[in-house]
Amino acid sequence: MKKLSLTLCVTPAFLLLACSSQPLTPQKDAVEAGRKAPSERCQSLGSVKGVARSIHGTAEQALDDLKQEAANKGATYVQVFQYSGTGTAVTGEAFKCP
């Protein structure tokens, strides 16, 4: 009887954890990036910087890092301003758009 009641108590907790779909950290995939200024309805969340963190870093890695930094601020869009001469760093401004 004790095993049954323990199983009935623990199983729902595991099911809830298994069904969770919200990531613990914001995801860069939810952030759109572009050079164009966002809609006037978007709210600025401040400047962001992305860096490729390896010796053989690429502009794509720097952009991914920029988008992750924007996502960490709650942004949905990041306006890209400038890449470094080597392409391993990029700056922009994060925005939260409706």
Residues 89 and 52: beta-carbon distance below 8 Å: yes
Q: Is pLDDT at 85 greater than 50 in this prediction?
A: yes
> Average model confidence (pLDDT) for the chain?
83
Tokens standing for residue 80: 């890209």
| Ranges of each domain in the chain | 26-96
Cβ contacts of residue 38 below 8 Å, gap of 6+? 77, 79, 95, 97
> Hey, what CATH class is 26-96 in?
alpha beta
pLDDT tens digit string along 19-44? Answer: 555 556 678 888 999 999 999 999 99
Q: Is pLDDT at 6 greater than 90 in this prediction?
A: no
